[in-house]
Amino acid sequence: MTCLTGQKAMITGGGAGIGRATAIALAKNGADIAIFDLDPDAAEETCSLVRAQGQKAVLCQGSVSNSDDVTAAFSRMDDELGPLSIMVNNAGISGNKPTLELTDADWERNIGVNLNGVFYCSRAAGRRMKDAKSGVIINVGSIYSLVAPPNRLHYCAPKAAVEMMTRALAVEWAQYGIRVNGVAPGYVQTQLLDELVEQGRVDLDGILRRTPQGKLPVPDEIADAILYLCDPRSRAITGHMLPVDGGWTAYGFI
């Protein structure tokens, strides 16, 4: 067990998938949780699951790409839960489109959510953690910050920037007792992936052949990696992006 008793965590994109699994994992280990999500119904369902673990939960509705929404979400957490100690930047959107077909709106939307949202929330968290002289920030990146696929520039570019943001903030904020790390999930078994497979946009058999473990991670396994990076036993780890992909990025044999 990880002891997070008394810890207060904010999780963006906590209404489903990895975000929901992370909320439950942290709550099971004693943390109170603020769920920041664009979908209030999904967020409230996650809050109910957190409360079922005996922990407090608060819903913060809004978009991480809007700095005013971020300010409001952190203010609500301050008022209803107390001092922030764990920030999980999980909110994100996918992108699969040839670069020459990208519109300005496509580009700006991905940058807004996948990069600006991480910056806005990390800045707000860092200001609070600096005063407390402690804190943990976990950024959910992607294997596509480590390797380059076609037709995903507007997804890969912000995810690569998030990896460098993780390192830069870890170096800058270590003096304040703040650790900044990330996880880089591969393809994860979720409803979204199922839909992409059905649409013919993802070759599941090809992915599995390239994955040494022969199976895709599930959200709970990503959440376990995040939980470890929140654990005081990982106190010497900062500035690290941990792939959680069944060996996908390590595999180089053809």
| Of 155, 176, 228, 251, catalytic | 155
Is 155 among the residues known to form the active site?
A: yes
Cα 204 to the center of its chain, rounded Å: 23
Pick the closest to residue 203 from 242, 244, 253, 149 (CA basis). Answer: 149
DSSP state of 233: G
For residue 244, the one-letter residue type is V
Q: What is the DSSP string of 113-126?
A: IIIIHHHHHHHHHH
Whether residue 126 contacts residue 174, with contact meaning beta carbons closer than 8 Å, is answered with no
| Buried residues in 203-214 as b, exposed as e (16+ CB within 10 A) | eeeebeebbeee
Q: How far apart are CA 38 and CA 102, in angstroms?
A: 24
Enumerate the active-site residues: 155
